[in-house]
Amino acid sequence: MIETTTAQTAEAAAQGAQIIDVREDFEVADGMIPGARHIPMGQILARLDELDKGRPVSVVCRSGNRSGRVAEALTSLGYEAYSVAGGMMQWQAEGRRVEIPA
- Using a 10 angstrom Cβ sphere, with 0-12 exposed, 13-18 middle and 19 or more buried, the burial of residue 14 is exposed
Positions marked active-site:
61
DSSP symbol at 12: H
Q: CB under 8 Å to 8, separation ≥6 — which residues?
A: none
DSSP string over 48-89? GGGS-TTS-EEEE-SSSHHHHHHHHHHHHTT--EEEETTHHH
